[in-house]
A and B are shown apart, each in its own frame.
Chain A
Amino acid sequence: MQPAESSQSHWRILCAILVFFASQNLTALCYGQARDRHLQQFADLPPGQVGQMQLSRGGPLAGYFQPVRMTVPKGAQVSLWAEDHFEAFEANQADAGMLVSGVYRTRVTRIPGQAGFEVYPTIEIINRLFPPQGQEQKYPIPVVITQEDLERAIEGQFVVRVVYLEDPLLALPVRQREGEQRAVDVGPGEDPLVAADKLGRPMAIVRIGSRVPTEMLNGQSGEGAAPLKLYRASSPTTETKPRSSAQQTPPGYRGTIR
């Protein structure tokens, strides 16, 4: 073999080896990207644990009362557990300030078409919004519980709703009606918190079941009794009384802070 041909053959072998290792590195990267992230938080963790892990990450979360607006179907009545009793609201929605990592027990009664049944969902706040200062109550986290959720819970199913702040880049360009909250049904075996994390920033976990908290009603324990700020909507008769400017609530919201 001539020396020139021999060196050419060596170059070919060297190039082939380089191509081989380059493909190995490329496939290794693909292998790593194909595997999903290993998430720490799931919706089926014990109530309150996700919020605790969020607090452990730091940030201005601890001690902040995040306004929440809970809405149930028209005709139904919603109550929130405050200290040692359920505080009922007049309309089908309730406004309250809830702590991040707090778990709050609620009650839905007078469910249309389900006479005699009561459902006791819980709300776990796992993150907060950052509205303009002084307008916190104008931008609450909307928690909408639909008639289908309540009927499923009465049938014995365990419904988990994760409310998330949608990513502007992934938001659907569809107008949302007042009182409506679009929901994405996840399939069996898929975690709703993980799915919500892909679509935006999870804010609250709502767990709905048919268990009656008899211990709470009998005063034996205070589960789900985190500190709560009730923003009770005033009735029209009491609204006629003029109030001082210091007591006025932000524009667009009719209520008082207890």
Chain B
Amino acid sequence: MPSARTMRRGKIMSVRLTLGTLLLAAATAVSGCAVPVQSGGMSAAHNLPPAQMLAQPGPGMGGPGPGVIPNVPPPGAQMAPATTAQVHFKAPVGMEIRWDVSGSGAYDSEPLVVPGIQNFPENGVYRLKVTGIEGREDERLYPSMEVAPITARTAAYLAHTPIPVHFTEQDFDQALSGNYVTKVIYIPDPEFQELAIGGVDTLVSTRLDPGVDPIVEADRRGAILSIIRLGSKDMELEGTAEGAAVQAGYTPEGAAVGNGFSPVPFNGGGVMPSYVSGVTGPQYGHPITGTPIGLPGPPHLPMGSPAGLQKHQITNHTRMHIPGPTQSLGIHVRQQPGLSYPRPVDTVRIREQAVRPMHFNNQPPADMVQGHPGEPR
């Protein structure tokens, strides 16, 4: 038989527990801190992947989705993607810009007087020659302009609007004083469009904090259209053709030859891979010097006496742990949030209700007579 004190404590605990549960429920209801799942573990909101992802059967694969018959557009209905980006050099006014059109490395194009526009094929790096800068008539600069490949994010913009390129006094000051200036022109993502004028924005390396890469930052903020690199290196310095020091190494042959009209990228177009055996470097397995690891080394000079070195030995003491190739690879992909489609309709209930008038619409007696009076029926 419990005492009266114990019974009172039990009531208090029961009330506290009930109130606490109700308060917790109310708090979660107000704050919205709920588990956003329904039965089945999927999100309460239907979530489709982006349009570009829907158009592909899976990551890393092209073409339409599985089981999807691609719609055949009428001939000529779809706009052919532009393969060139139009660049509008806007400032400073009066400056002259030249580029390579023959593929010989010379700046042999007709000078473009700013402001002016010029088409550049996408995915290429172009060396420009800038002269006639107002107030700096004796200076000449050789910036390079990289036109990014046209992507789905930039196609609509580049099909209608040229890329605006401005060179400011500060850019020239920085370059002529020996600094390296990188300007990145990009289309900002919606969350970064507050400060963009005309739909594009420009990041300049000299205005960013030290250590911040403008290309990485622009790529984080949106889609890159063009990258301009500006320095004080003179690309037409006299004496570079004859009698200058030539680095030992492989020189790629068969440079791109232009058609004398369009700009020719000096890197052959696009971003070249760092090392391709026999293409961008010496062929693998054929060292160009006597070093056994294939690196170019110093030649053995006789130093004024007959060569006496008969043998040299290099021992590699580097600790190595290079595992063998993987026989099988398992890739586990989980997209967050998951994909959810609404359940298809399986039941339709239709209820039609006719409003019956309060009175009956009888046919007037005059209309019940068929035909006209006097005519035979």
Contact = CB atoms under 8 A, between A and B. Distances in A.
Interface of A: 1, 5, 9, 12-13, 15-17, 19-20, 22-24, 26-35, 37-38, 40-49, 51-53, 55-56, 62-63, 99, 101-103, 120-122, 124, 153, 155-158, 160, 188-191, 207-212, 214-215, 221-227
Contact of B77 (A23, A29, A35, A101): A101
A54 B24 CA distance: 48
Contact of A47 (B24, B50, B75, B156): B156
Nearest to A43: B156
Contacts of A215: 82, 84, 119
A23 B28 contact: yes
Interface residues of B, number: 67
Interface string B152-168: 11011111111010000
Contact of A31 (B11, B44, B48, B159): B44
Contacts of B46: 37-38
Given A23-B25, A46-B152, A103-B77, 12 more contacts: A13-B17, A16-B17, A20-B28, A24-B25, A32-B45, A38-B48, A46-B159, A48-B73, A52-B71, A101-B78, A158-B160, A223-B159
A12 B24 contact: no
A43 B24 CA distance: 44
Nearest to B155: A46
Given A156-B164, A214-B119, A52 B74 contact: no
Contacts of A121: 160
Contacts of A52: 71, 73, 78
A9 B11 CA distance: 8
Nearest to A83: B76
Given A190-B190, A209-B161, A210-B162, A223 B82 contact: yes
Nearest to B20: A16
Interface in B37-57: 37-38, 43-48, 50-51, 54
Contact of A188 (B88, B161, B193): B193
A45 B51 contact: yes
A56 B76 CA distance: 17
A223 B86 CA distance: 15
4 smallest CB-CB distances across A and B, nearest first, come from A209-B160, A32-B44, A209-B161, A27-B34
A32 B77 contact: no
